[in-house]
Amino acid sequence: MTRTPENAPPLLTDDDVHDRVAALVGPATQDGCVWLMLVDGDRRQAPLVIPLADSPRRPETHLVDGLRDMLAHLSHQLATDAGPGACLFTFERLGPTATGPDDEEWARALHGAATGAGLGTVGVFLSTPAGVRRVR
C-alpha cells in the first residue's frame, strides 16, 4: 500500500485527478493490478492507495461483486456535508498503449462497483508502460 500526504490538495479538476494518478501509480511496471483510491465528499483523497494485484485481464463477476460489497461498507465513512464519497480507479497492465475491449470492460465494471455501493467515480484510468490516461 502507498500512502498519500495527509494534506494533499483536493481533487477539483480533471488535471488534478490525472496528476495524482500519474504521481502515485505512474507508468505500468506490472501486469494486472487495479489501484483503488478513495475520495471523500469534499474531494479529498483518503491517505491510502490500495493495489489489488494479480487482477485478471478481464473482470470476473465474483471479484467485482466483492469489490462493490467492500466499497458499500466504506461508503458512510466517505460521505461529508458536501456529498457522498467517490472512487478513483487505475487498471495497470503491460502491453499496448491503445485502449482495448478488456480495458473498456474493466472501466465499466469498476464504475458499476462504485455506483452499486452508492459512491461516485472521480475517474477510471489505464496505466501502460507509456503512462496513464483516462478511460472513463
Please report, in tens digits, the pLDDT of each residue of the chain (136 residues total): 666 667 889 999 999 999 999 999 999 999 999 999 999 999 999 998 999 999 999 999 999 999 999 999 999 999 999 999 999 999 999 999 999 999 999 999 999 999 999 999 999 999 999 999 999 9
Q: What global pTM score does this model have?
A: 0.94
3-state secondary structure of 28: coil
Contacts of 32 (CB under 8 A, 6+ apart): 53, 54, 55, 56, 57, 92, 93
Q: Name which CATH class applies to 11-134.
A: alpha beta
Going from N- to C-terminal start, the domains of the chain cover 11-134
